[in-house]
Amino acid sequence: MRVEIVEFDSPIGSITLAVCDEYLCALSFSESWPASVAMLGRRFGSIDCRMVEETAGVVSHLKSYFSGSVEALSEINVDPGGTQFQRKVWAKLCELQPGETISYSNLACRVGSPTAVRAVGAANGSNPIAIVIPCHRVIGADGRLVGYGGGIEKKQWLLNHERTHRRRAVIRKLGKIG
């Protein structure tokens, strides 16, 4: 299986991503990339990794996102693999608006499994496409930031970035109405 790999410098650190057949299938902070490579190997078997500068427009969308167009992530085609339950959790995460947060228990209710809070947490933790599948938007029941593979500081940065730029987009839209 041919997999195109891109390294991307973001405001919160180096990101490495993988695209297969025009679909983003892995994205992580570069320090966690070895675990992503192992996951890709388990998923696809033998992989032929090729370093490229851009693939399937993913880097352009990420640059737009980090420049303030926080809606740009929704334009990236993803194929995270995973179990049916994991895909259900990840799909619900993608329904959240940029900067919006949800608790693990509320997310469990949204996927139709209100008693599966730990399973939702496990699915969130095994998300192979960080940022694009916005696992950083999940918070503790008490509203605190908890559990993010990239670290709580990056999670806080992402949420602040999304909230700031989402507000600016709303203000711009309202300005056009009035």
Query: Quick one: pLDDT at residue 30?
Result: 92
pLDDT along the chain (178 residues), means of 10: 94 97 95 93 93 93 96 94 96 94 96 96 95 96 89 96 78 46
Residue found by looking up tokens 């619900």 in the block: 92
Structural domains for the chain: 2-75 (3.30.160.70), 84-177 (1.10.10.10)
Note the pTM of the prediction, 2 decimals.
Answer: 0.91
Q: Which two tokens stand for residue 107?
A: 């997310």
Query: Quick one: pLDDT at residue 56?
Result: 86
Is residue 6 within 8 A of residue 52, CB to CB? The reply is yes
Query: Quick one: pLDDT at residue 114?
Result: 97
* DSSP codes of every residue in 104-169: HHHHHHHTT-TT-HHHHHHHHHT-SBTTTS-GGGEE-TTS-----TT-HHHHHHHHHHHHHHHHHH
Q: Which of 49, 94, 109, 135 is catalytic?
A: 135
Respond yes or no: is residue 94 known to be catalytic. Answer: no
